[in-house]
Structure 1
Amino acid sequence: MINTTQKILSFINLQNGEENKKKVIENITSAVSFRGSNIWILACAIIIASVGLNVNSTAVIIGAMLISPLMGPIVGAGFGLGMYNFQLLKKSIKNLLIATAVSLTTSTIYFYISPFKDAQSELLARTSPNIYDILIAFFGGLVGVIAVTRVEKGNPIPGVAIATALMPPLCTAGYGLALGNIKFFLGAMYLYTINCVFICIATFIIVKYLNYPITKQLDLKHEKRVKYGITILILTLIVPSTFFAYQLFIQKNYTAKTQNFIQNEFLNYDYPIIYKNIEYNKSPKRIELAFLGKKFSENEIADLNKKLIYYDIQNTRLIIKQDTFNLGKDIMNRINDSKNLVDQKDVLINELRNKLSQYQFNKSQINKEAKILFPFIHSLTIGNYSYDSKTNTSNIIPVVLFQSKNNIDNDSEEKLKKWLKTRLEKDTIEVYRQNVILKK
C-alpha cells in the first residue's frame, strides 16, 4: 500500500522535469520589463485585438493574444510574492501598470477614430465577468507557471495566453472609454483585474509548492499580513463575480423556460413566428411575438398569459403583436438596433413573402385549367392592377385578359367570371376580352 502511494505521488510530483530555479528566476525577471520592443509589440497586439473585436473575428483576437507580452509582469508579480522578493513584486506591478496604460491608450485611440462603433458579440462577452472567468484565470495561470518551471516547456504557453484572454478586456475597456460607456469600461477592467490577480495567485501557489528560495525572511507578523492581504483580495473579487455567475444562471434558466413555453404553445401547433423578442431586464419581463397569418383573440392571449405560471415563468407579460402597420414599423426599428444579420434577413424574407402571397397566382396552372373548362379560350393573362378613370383612383385587384377562338354567349362569359373569382379567391376582379369589358 505504501509503495503504491509512493508511486502515485512520484507520478504526479512537480519536481520531476523541473528547470533549475536560478535560471527560471532569471527568465522571469527579464520578461517583467516593458521597454523598447516589448512596448511596440504590445501596442501592435492591442491594435490587432481591437480590430478583431471591431469586426467580430475570433481568429484575429486569438492571433493578438498569442503575440501579447502581458503575461510576463503578471507571472513576475506571482514569483515576487511567493519568494517575498518585494523588489521584483514592485517592478512587476510597475511594468504591469505601464503595459495597462499603453494598452488602454492605444485601444481608446483606435476605437475613437474607427468608423465602426457597434458593440459586437465578442465585445459584449467581455463586459460581464463571473465565477467561470475566475476558474479559467486560476487554472490557466497554474498551467502557465508549471510550464515556465519545466525544462521541456512544451506548448501550454500559447494555450494559456488564449484561455486567460488578457488582451480583449483591455480593448473592450478602451472601447468603453472611446464611447464614454462607463459600464463597458468598468465591466471589462473588472475582468482584466480578475485575470491578472488569479494568474498571480496561481503562480504564488506553485512557487510556494516548489519551494523557491525566499529572498527576504519575514517575521510571523509580516507573513500573516501578506496572507491576509491575499485572502481579502481573493474574496473581494470572488464575491461579485459569484453574484454575476448566479445572475447568468438565472437568466439562462429563464430563457430555457420561455423557449419551452413557445415550443409547446406555438411551434407545436405550426404557428410560424416572424418576430420574437425577450426583454429580460424589464419589470415585468416581456415576451413579444408576432405570427405569420395567425390571429389571436383577447381571450386567447389572456389564457396564454395565465399559462406562463404553469411553466414557472414569473413576473412576465406575453405580448402578441397583431397590428400589421405598427408591427412592420417595430420590426424595422428592431432590425436597425439589432446586430444579428441572420435575424434581419429572416424577418425581411417573411415580411415580403407574406405580402407577395396576396398577389401571386399560379398563372400557368390557371391557364391550363381554363382551357379545359372553357374550350373557347385561346389565351389567358392575369395581372394585379386596375385604374378607375372616373374617380382617378387605383386598386390592386386581379385583372384578367383573355382571347377566344369564337364569339361566346353571355352565359359562358358569366360562368368564366364566377369561376375566376372562385379560383383566385377574390371578391372583385376585372375581366377583358378583345378590348371589351365583361360585366362585373
Structure 2
Amino acid sequence: MNKILKETGKFLNQRFSLHQDQEREKKVVAEIKKGVEFQGINVWILIFAIMVASVGLNVNSAAVVIGAMLISPLMGPIMGIGLGIGITDLDLIKKAAASLAVMVVLSVLTSWLYFFISPLAEAQSELLSRTTPTIWDVFIGLFGGLAGIVATASKERGNVIPGVAIATALMPPLCTAGYGLAIGNMHYFVGAFYLFSINAVFICFSTLLIVRFLRFKEVTFISPEVKRKVRLFIGVFVVAMVVPSIYIAQNLVRETLFNKKVETYVRKVFNFPTTEVIKYEVIKDGEESELEVSLMGDPLNANTIANLESQLSNYELQGVRLLVKQGPKNLNAADIKSQVLETFLTRNLDSLRSKDAKINYLKKELLTFKSKSIPVDKIAKEAVIFDENIKGLCLMEAVNYSSKGSPTDTVHIALTNFAKEPKTGEIQRFEKWLKQRIESDSVRVLADSD
C-alpha cells in the first residue's frame, strides 16, 4: 500500500511540478525587470498600440483590438510589481509602479485624444463590453496572470504570453476609459478603469503567489511583523477589488434571469390566432419595472388583458406592471415595419436556404459540365495533324438505351469527314488516338468521305 501511494505521489509530482522545467531564478528576475523599463521605443509602441486599439473599438473590430493587445508592453510593470513584492525589492516596486502610472496616464490621454477628434461617437459593443466588469473578469485576471508568470519562469515559454495579453485585455479598458472622458460619460470611465484595475491587481497577485511558491530569494530582509502587515494589507486590498465585481455579477445574473422570464411569459401567454406581438420591452424606473407589449391585429378586450396581468405571477414576475399597446394610435410605424420584416425573413428563411442550396448545386453541376466538356475545335485541328486525310470532325456525347428503354452506356460519336476513302486500319488508328485524347473508352468513329 505504501509503495502504491509512493508511486502515485511520484507520478503526480512529475506531472504537476513547477520545478522541473523552471528557468534559473536570476534569468527570470532579469527578464521581468527588463519588461519594467518604459522609455524610448516602448513609449512609442504603447502610443501606437493604444491608437490601434482605439480604432478597433471605435469601428467594432475585435481582430484589430486583439492585434493591438499583442504589441502592448503594459504587462511588464504589473508583473514587476508582483515580483518586487514577492522578493521584497523596494527599488523594483517603485520603478515598476512609476512605469505603470506613466503608462496608464499616457494610454488614457492617447485614447481620449483619438475619441475626441473621431467623428464616430456611438458606443459599439466592443466598447460597452468593457464597462461592466464582473467576478468572471477576476477569474480571467487571476488565472491569466498565473499562466503568464508560470510561463515566464519556465524554460519553454511557447506562445503563452501573447495568449495572456489577449485574455486579460489590459489595453481595451484603458481605451474605453479614454472614450468615457472624451464623451463626458463617467459611468464608462469608472467601469472601464475598474476592469483594468481588476486585471492589473490579479496579474500582480498571481505573480506574487508563484514567486513565493518557487521560493525566490528576498533582496531585503523584512521582520516577521512587517511581513504579516504586508500580507494583511494585500489580502484586504484583493478582497476590496473583488467585492464590487461580485455585486455587479449578481445584478447581471439577476437581470439575465429576469429577461428570460419575460421572454417566456410573452411567448407563452400572448398566443392569439388573430393578434401578434410586434415588440416588447422592459422599462425600469428604480425598483419598479414595466413590461410594454405592442400588438398588431384584433384588439384584446379588457377581460383578456386582465387575465394576462393575472398570469404574471405564474412566471415569477410579481410587481411588474403590464402595459398593452394596441390600435393604430398606440402603435409605432417603425415597430410595425421592423416586425413585418422580421416575420417575412423568419417565414421565408427555409425557402431562401433551399433556393441557395439549389443555386449552389447548379453551380457545381455547371463546373462539372465545363470540366467534362470536350473542346471539339481543338481536337479537330489536332486530328488533321494526326491524319492529313481528315477534313472535318463532328464529336458529340450520346446515351445508349437498351431495348427495354433503360440507359446502358454513354458513347462518344465522332462523325469524321475524310478527303478520300480511308485506308485499311486508318479508322481504327484514329479511334484509338481519339480515345486517348478525350480519355474515354466509349468512342465510335463514323467515316464520311467526299
Superposition TM-score tier, normalisation by shorter sequence: 0.7 to 0.9
Q: Tell me the equivalent position of 1:320.
A: 324
Which among 215, 223, 226 is matched to residue 222 of structure 1?
226
Q: Contact conserved, 1:295 with 1:322, CA < 8 A, in 2?
A: yes
How big is the shift at 1:350?
Answer: 6.3
Q: Contact conserved, 1:257 with 1:311, CA < 8 A, in 2?
A: yes
Q: Does the residue aligned with 2:238 lie in a helix, a strand or coil?
A: helix
- Could you list the per-position Cα deviations for residues 337-381 of structure 1 after superposition, in whole angstroms to 9, with x for gaps in the alignment? xxxxxxx9834736999xxxxxxxxxxxxxxxxxxxxxxxxxxxx
Change (3 A) 1:310 1:111: same
Q: Contact conserved, 2:296 with 2:327, CA < 8 A, in 1?
A: no
How big is the shift at 1:18?
Answer: 0.9
Quick one: which amino acid aligns to residue 338 of structure 2? D
Q: Tell me the equivalent position of 1:83.
A: 87
Q: Tell me the equivalent position of 1:104.
A: 108
Q: Tell me the equivalent position of 1:143.
A: 147
Equivalents in 2 of 1:148, 1:34: separation in Å?
19
**Equivalent pairs, count:** 341
Q: Tell me the equivalent position of 2:121.
A: 117
Q: Tell me the equivalent position of 2:134.
A: 130
Which among 294, 297, 311 is matched to residue 293 of structure 1?
297
Is 1:346 aligned to residue 350 of structure 2?
Answer: no
Q: Contact conserved, 1:283 with 1:315, CA < 8 A, in 2?
A: no
Q: Does the residue aligned with 2:331 lie in a helix, a strand or coil?
A: helix
Quick one: which amino acid aligns to residue 189 of structure 2? F
Q: Does the residue aligned with 2:17 lie in a helix, a strand or coil?
A: coil
Q: Tell me the equivalent position of 1:152.
A: 156
How big is the shift at 1:294?
Answer: 4.2
How big is the shift at 1:299?
Answer: 2.3
Q: Contact conserved, 2:49 with 2:72, CA < 8 A, in 1?
A: yes
Equivalents in 1 of 2:343, 2:7: separation in Å?
74
Equivalents in 1 of 2:221, 2:284: separation in Å?
54
- Could you list the per-position Cα deviations for residues 77-134 of structure 1 after superposition, in whole angstroms to 9, with x for gaps in the alignment? 1111111111111111110000000100001011111111111111111111111110
Q: Contact conserved, 1:274 with 1:350, CA < 8 A, in 2?
A: no
Quick one: which amino acid aligns to residue 91 of structure 1? K
State the TM-score, normalizing by the size of structure 1: 0.74
Q: Contact conserved, 2:46 with 2:72, CA < 8 A, in 1?
A: yes
How big is the shift at 1:282?
Answer: 4.5
Q: Tell me the equivalent position of 2:191.
A: 187
Q: Contact conserved, 1:251 with 1:280, CA < 8 A, in 2?
A: no
Change (3 A) 1:164 1:227: same
How big is the shift at 1:280?
Answer: 4.4
Q: Does the residue aligned with 1:320 lie in a helix, a strand or coil?
A: strand
Is 1:18 aligned to residue 22 of structure 2?
Answer: yes
Greater Rg, structure 1 or structure 2? 2
Change (3 A) 1:120 1:11: same
Q: Tell me the equivalent position of 1:38.
A: 42
Is 1:231 aligned to residue 235 of structure 2?
Answer: yes
Equivalents in 2 of 1:347, 1:110: separation in Å?
38
Q: Tell me the equivalent position of 1:369.
A: none
Equivalents in 1 of 2:289, 2:208: separation in Å?
45
Which among 70, 77, 88 is matched to residue 74 of structure 2?
70
Q: Contact conserved, 2:57 with 2:124, CA < 8 A, in 1?
A: yes
Of the structure 1 ranges 292-301 and 117-126, higher mean CA displacement relative to structure 2 is found in: 292-301
How big is the shift at 1:60?
Answer: 1.3
Equivalents in 2 of 1:129, 1:261: separation in Å?
29
Change (3 A) 1:157 1:322: same
State the TM-score, normalizing by the size of structure 2: 0.72
Q: Tell me the equivalent position of 1:276.
A: 280
Q: Tell me the equivalent position of 1:201.
A: 205
Change (3 A) 1:346 1:328: closer
Q: Tell me the equivalent position of 1:61.
A: 65
Q: Contact conserved, 1:42 with 1:103, CA < 8 A, in 2?
A: yes
Quick one: which amino acid aligns to residue 216 of structure 1? T
How big is the shift at 1:203?
Answer: 0.6
Q: Contact conserved, 1:107 with 1:174, CA < 8 A, in 2?
A: yes
How big is the shift at 1:270?
Answer: 8.2
Equivalents in 2 of 1:83, 1:99: separation in Å?
24
Q: Contact conserved, 1:123 with 1:172, CA < 8 A, in 2?
A: yes
Is 1:47 aligned to residue 51 of structure 2?
Answer: yes
- Could you list the per-position Cα deviations for residues 154-199 of structure 1 after superposition, in whole angstroms to 9, with x for gaps in the alignment? 1111111111011111011101100111111111111111110011
In the alignment, structure 2 segments of 5+ residues that lack a partner are 346-450
Equivalents in 2 of 1:186, 1:305: separation in Å?
39
Q: Does the residue aligned with 1:286 lie in a helix, a strand or coil?
A: strand
Q: Does the residue aligned with 2:280 lie in a helix, a strand or coil?
A: strand
Q: Does the residue aligned with 2:293 lie in a helix, a strand or coil?
A: strand
Q: Tell me the equivalent position of 2:166.
A: 162
How big is the shift at 1:216?
Answer: 0.7
In the alignment, structure 1 segments of 5+ residues that lack a partner are 333-343, 354-440
Is 1:95 aligned to residue 87 of structure 2?
Answer: no
How big is the shift at 1:259?
Answer: 1.3
Q: Equivalent pairs: percent with the same residue?
A: 42
Q: Contact conserved, 2:57 with 2:65, CA < 8 A, in 1?
A: yes
Equivalents in 1 of 2:125, 2:254: separation in Å?
20
Which among 259, 262, 280 is matched to residue 263 of structure 2?
259
How big is the shift at 1:292?
Answer: 3.2
Equivalents in 2 of 1:270, 1:139: separation in Å?
54
Quick one: which amino acid aligns to residue 306 of structure 1? S
Q: Does the residue aligned with 1:292 lie in a helix, a strand or coil?
A: strand
Q: Contact conserved, 1:131 with 1:238, CA < 8 A, in 2?
A: yes
How big is the shift at 1:272?
Answer: 3.7
